Structure 1
């Protein structure tokens, strides 16, 4: 029997409460002002078990500690008043951004708005006191509201592949300044030199929800010094003193090897996703085997190919994909090693991970944990946001932390790796109603193929496109790892660890958290079916 989404209005208020997977709710209001006010309320008076409230254009996504808290929250949220409350008061932070109004799209914006000239556009934009309603798209990218309605313009028909850091732009009712270089389809009207995202500050985001923003016109040339101009303190692994002996040296990095721990939750309000290991259970097993605490950082290895030469005697464990392990001693002797149990790698020996026979990602834990500079409390590499250590390269030096003084763990059975047709259980999503019974049935009944363009951000599926999807544009709203979005192409995308904070396509379902580790091991060409559960 197909589970159906629970969508219900709050009493006499118009607030809709929609489930998002097992431990989150999407609270839908009438507009941006109402969503902003609701986020302010939930920040000041959290619901029981509330971990995070993530505002967006017309919604607030609330993430809870448990499913029981989410069910309780659904009832309590129905009694909330989503009506617009007064905006930020005079004590709200005010950021002034010196701006040169010389954007490439100024002439088009003058024509689209009917203002007639670039100077008129600049004057209208600078006259407004803007407020950051929500963040998303990229770390520190804030959606600003409160401008002259005449400034509302559509996005460009053809997005740019690279928008310069510091660009000031318009799209719809919003304005924004780009914290770093990124693709974008907004209309560019100017540029600012402000460091909008700076990991050297205690609070990296210059603009957060609730911040008031005023654009101050200036004429002189500005050198853009946004986030792209500052080195990421998390870039690269911690090599320590170049003269010291590293725990290991990378002699081959494979297709993609990154540093991962359990991620950096709690920063979605400034546009930073959780990230962390794609197969969390595999990293947790590797840490248990080496006696590490659960959050210790290790290596995530895509499709094998990693080789490490030990600089010291190490205790390691490799879990996840069914990967051949071998070691070559300094004398040239070779032997194989077991997966899913701790072993000693002597100084001078080289560990090799071959191509997996099954599965996609392997995890290498070092006793003491892998040392790397933390970014927002995590050593994880976020490939979408560009945070954390860079992917490993040949010659990189790796250091392990202090021995935890605990016993190594006993070998434990690993869950089965994907094979044949993998079934992923899902909870009907907050936007399943965009597809109707026919589209929902097609989503469930078809066998989907994992596409070659899949990565840590998400799995892109191939197959017969879904039909019957509502036309029109969905306002940006928060998404979580596990969300299955369906863009206009009709081909689903399952978000994984490096999922964006917000998305603009309807979510037809949210994969069970317990099944995301299996999804992280799906190789291109794997067959998948989505099975609903309640």
Structure 2
């Protein structure tokens, strides 16, 4: 953590530059105005190797291309001067027609002492709000700069569903919900503005830096927002139990005939590529394959580009029928592969090697001997409609195709015109037996921070010295761990700030949560460390019940670029 000094005439100084893994820095500023100033400054004048920015309440996460770029940027940021001119909003003015008839309007009038719904509406609509950052859901903008009298607490009990278009307050923030989702904010009104629309070049109506005015209207508004049932869908917990349905045929499949048909998706099978980077600033994470190296390896074996879309299969169980000859490779969790045709006896297929799946043959994936997620690549890549440049299924943001179901047809892209690759041995997986027939704890290396200062020495030592167990209620969003809870965590709430895959949050329970591919863009619990990218693929293969040790890596300069 590098302190940054303040100089006379600098209106919003950088307070600290904190490590956030190998290739990111969390820059802490004096307040929301400073965070907005830094975000604007770095948008206009990027640092060497800068690949992304995620503004938040009082911080900006800066993503860099390599660890060397991160080390260089840390020094530059510590000396950066921010002046008032850097605060200027760069995203224009957004006006939202708003009907002030929210369910919590009377309660807000009571909590604020304003006395009436009209007084709340007047105070809310008179302010010029600024979008400080996006998080929680795609297009959900946290607005600051309102009347201080409107600072109200969240509801004691969050609602299970807040309707799309709801206008709400929480603390010093206001927001308009872009889609239906759970939420604990106080609802004061609603707007029909299309806050999130994938058909626009910029899907989010409100981006960081925009100024927002709520314009009160009396008439009833018909919501024009497209249904967004999955904007904040909770991912299903990992389970190895499943029900095997009967075989299905394709019904109502538009377009050209599919190359393969799903007969049984197993516990969960999704389409994944390498994700959709570049949208964190509007509340959309990268997503993509949880074990990125496994998908790249499978694509290489069938001659595809590294980022071609394939299947991510949770704990086997997938059965699909080829409608034409296909070249296929499977890697990741080591599952037995079987090929079955009506006129031929069942035969095994090789793992970690390309093979021919003939027309009318059924490929079945059994339960893996080790690991959790298997990746299936088909020569040509899976063909589908990309969402924000990616076919990946984001289970948290609700973007991309739905998880596979029985009867689903799968299209395949054109012949890549490259040679089929060679078999590739995979790295060891969690659950692989050690030499003496016993299993050892999985070691995950991490870089301490950015919020290690929220823990005393006992808490920091406890995190690194204890054995943790991957819990059953884990998914693509993250892994929860059980064990002896950490003590020595500072009390209180942390202002929302950016998180990234690999971050390990410690909530008040004292039990760690490791974020994976579908991590949220922002979070409100301190991150004690960030797992290095080389070990994050390994983490994606952890089964419930696996024992894990977190090992600190210092100094970060020892990590390879």
Partner of 1:220: 219
1:338 Cα deviation from its structure 2 partner: 1.0
Partner SS state of residue 305, structure 2: coil
Distance 2:251 2:76 in 1: 50
User: 3-state SS of the aligned residue for 1:378?
Assistant: coil
- Equivalent residue number for residue 61 of structure 2: 61
Question: Are 1:480 and 2:500 matched, yes or no?
Answer: yes
Contact 1:486–1:506 (8 Å) recurs in 2: yes
- Structure 1 residues 68 and 84, CA, compared in 2 at 3 Å: closer, same or farther? same
Separation (CA, whole Å) in 1 of partners of 2:315 and 2:228: 33
My pick for the range that moved more, 411-420 or 520-529, is 411-420
Corresponding residue of 1:322: 334
- In 1: Cα distance, 2:129 partner to 2:513 partner: 34
Aligned-residue offset at 1:130 = 1.2
Assess, with a 3 A threshold, how the Cα gap between structure 1 residues 134 and 348 changes in structure 2: closer, same or farther: same
Q: Tell me, in whole angstroms, the C-alpha distance in 1 between the residues paired with 2:91 and 2:111.
A: 33
Query: Whole-Å Cα distance in 2 between the matches of residues 484 and 48 of structure 1?
Result: 27
Secondary structure at the counterpart of residue 242 of structure 1: coil
Q: CA deviation at 1:347?
A: 0.5
| Secondary structure of the structure 2 residue equivalent to 1:244 | coil
Please tell me whether the aligned partners of residues 35 and 60 of structure 2 are also in contact (alpha carbons under 8 angstroms): yes
Aligned position for 2:363: 351
Q: Is the 8 A contact 1:10 1:17 kept in 2?
A: no
SS at match of 1:374: coil
Native 8 Å contact 1:307 1:350 kept in 2: yes
Rounded to whole Å, the distance in 1 between the matches of 2:253 and 2:201 is 26
Contact 1:239 1:246 in 2 (8 A): no
Q: CA deviation at 1:330?
A: 2.7
Kindly indicate whether the alpha-carbon contact (under 8 Å) linking 1:423 and 1:528 is maintained by their aligned counterparts in 2: yes
CA–CA distance in structure 2, aligned partners of residues 294 and 351 of structure 1: 23
- The answer as to whether partners of 1:198 and 1:230 remain within 8 angstroms in 2 is no
**What are the equivalent positions in structure 2 for 1:59-458 lying under 5 Å apart?**
59-82=59-82, 84-85=84-85, 87-88=87-88, 92-228=91-227, 242=254, 244-419=256-431, 420=439, 421-458=441-478
1:240 deviates by 11
Is the 8 Å Cα contact of residues 320 and 363 (structure 1) preserved in structure 2?
yes
Q: Aligned partners of 2:91, 2:430: CA distance in 1, in Å?
A: 51
Distance 1:240 1:291, change over 3 A: farther
From the superposition, tell whether residues 514 and 227 of structure 1 become closer, same or farther in structure 2 (CA, over 3 Å).
farther
- Cα deviation for residue 214 of structure 1 reads 1.1
Q: 1:489 to 1:84 in 2, by over 3 A?
A: farther
CA distance in 1, matches of 2:91, 2:308: 38
CA displacement at 1:176 relative to structure 2: 0.3
Local SS of the residue matching 1:41? helix
Change (3 A) 1:473 1:229: closer
User: Displacement, 1:220?
Assistant: 1.8
Aligned-partner Cα distance in 1 for 2:459–2:388: 40
Q: Following TM superposition, by how much is the alpha carbon of 1:436 offset from its aligned partner in structure 2, in angstroms? A: 1.2
Change (3 A) 1:299 1:383: same
Q: Is the 8 A contact 1:15 1:82 kept in 2?
A: no
The count of aligned residue pairs is 523
Counterpart Cα distance in 1 of 2:57 and 2:124: 20
- Deviation by residue 1:354-405 (Cα, 9 ceiling, x = unmatched): 1111100000001000011101111100000000011000000001000101
Matches within 5 A, 1:45-60: 45-60=45-60
Unaligned runs of 5+ in 2: 8-12, 232-249, 432-438, 555-561
Distance 1:128 1:445 in 2: 50
- CA 1:14 to 1:208, structure 2 compared with 1: closer, same or farther past 3 Å? closer
Q: What is the alpha-carbon distance in structure 1 between the residues aligned to residue 461 and residue 340 of structure 2? A: 53
- Map Cα deviations across residues 174-232 of structure 1 (whole Å, 9 max, x no partner): 11000011111111101111110001111110110111211111122222232426999
Task: Compute the displacement of 1:34 (Å).
Answer: 0.9
Counterpart contact for 2:32–2:57, Cα < 8 Å = yes
Distance 1:356 1:311 in 2: 26
Map of 2:524 onto structure 1: 504
Partners of 2:180 and 2:228 within 8 A in 1? no
Q: Does 1:33 align with 2:53?
A: no
> Where does structure 1 lack aligned partners over 5 or more consecutive residues?
1-5, 233-237
Whether the 8 Å contact between 2:4 and 2:79 is mirrored in structure 1 is no
Does the aligned pair in 2 maintain the 1:10–1:77 contact within 8 Å? no
Which residue does the alignment assign to 2:3? Answer: 8
Q: Are the equivalent residues in 1 in contact too, given 2:125–2:215 (CA < 8 A)?
A: yes
1:463 maps to 483
Q: Deviations over 1:400-422 (max 9, x none)?
A: 00010110111111000013310
Alpha-carbon distance between aligned partners in 2 of 1:7 and 1:79, rounded to the nearest angstrom: 10
Contact 1:11/1:79 (<8 A) preserved: no
Q: Structure 1 pair 332/417, CA: closer, same or farther in 2 (3 Å)?
A: same
The runs of 4+ residues in structure 1 deviating greater than 2 Å are 6-14, 81-89, 223-232, 238-245
Tell me how far apart the structure 2 counterparts of residues 324 and 345 of structure 1 sit (CA, whole Å).
Answer: 15
Structure 1 residue 92 displacement after superposition: 4.6
Task: Determine the C-alpha separation between the residues in 2 that align with 1:120 and 1:86.
Answer: 34
Residue 520 of structure 1 corresponds to which residue in structure 2?
540
Deviation of the 1:423 alpha carbon: 0.5
Compare 108-117 and 67-76 and name the one that shifted more.
108-117
The whole-number CA distance in structure 2 between the counterparts of 1:266 and 1:10 is 31
Normalised TM-score (structure 2): 0.91
Q: Is the 8 A contact 2:458 2:488 kept in 1?
A: yes
Q: TM-score, normalised by structure 1?
A: 0.95
Give distance in 2, aligned partners of 1:531 and 1:512: 10
